[in-house]
Amino acid sequence: MTLSISSKFFPYRLNLKRKEPVEFRIEVANRGEKEKKVSLQILVSRALALDKSGLANNAVYKIDSLKPNETKTFVHTVFPKQFTGAGAYPIQIKAMEHYQNYNYAEREYTKNIELMVDE
Give tens-digit pLDDT for 58-80.
999 999 999 999 999 999 999 99
Share of the chain above pLDDT 90, in %: 91
Domain ranges of the chain: 3-118
Answer whether CATH 3.40.50.920 is correct for domain 3-118. no
Q: Could you please report the per-residue DSSP string of the chain?
A: --EEEEEEEESSSEETTTT--EEEEEEEEE-SSS-EEEEEEEEE-TTEESSTTS---EEEEEEEEE-TT-EEEEEEEEEE-TT--SEEEEEEEEEEEESSSTT-EEEEEEEEEEEEEE-
According to DSSP, the residues that pair with 113 across neighbouring strands are 91
- Mean pLDDT for all residues in the chain: 94
Residue 1: pLDDT band (50, 70, 90) is low
Q: What is the pTM of this model?
A: 0.91
Decide if pLDDT at 43 tops 80. Answer: yes
What pLDDT, on a 0 to 100 scale, did the predictor assign at position 100?
85
